[in-house]
Each structure stands twice: as structure tokens, then as C-alpha cells.
Amino acid sequence: MTAASSELLTVPEVMARLKLGRTKVYDLIRTRRLVSIKVDGCRRIPDTAVRAFIRGQMGEAA
């Protein structure tokens, strides 16, 4: 596993990458369309989960 693939992102970082608002990112997490974990009460999203979400969205659009 490379450092880039194991990176854990904060919700604001995911918001910036996906160009989405906070509510939408939490909605994606709640509906399990975006995988996340909790670390001491803080929500973290693996970089690989963001990439998988983007790939899935591109597949749906095709």
C-alpha cells in the first residue's frame, strides 16, 4: 500500500476535492456511497474511497 492510497482525508478536504458542500458529503457518507471511518470521534475518508466514488460516478454517467 502506498502512502497516497492510505491517506485519510477530513470532510473539508473531501469537500474541496469533490467540489461539494458539507451537507452533501455527510449525505454520501450516511447513504454509504462514500466509505468513511471514525477516529476518536473524527470522521475520516480514505483517499481510495474518494477515488472509488469518482470512478463510480463516471461509470454511471457513461
pTM of the model: 0.84
Residue-wise pLDDT tens digits, 10-31: 999 999 999 999 999 999 999 9
For 16-49, letters b (16+ CB in 10 Å) and e give ebbeeeeeebbebbeeeebebeeeeeebbbbbeb
With 70 as the cut, is the pLDDT of residue 44 above it? yes
Examine the pLDDT at 59 and tell me if it is beyond 90. no
Distance CA 24, CA 40 (A): 23
pLDDT attached to residue 1? 44
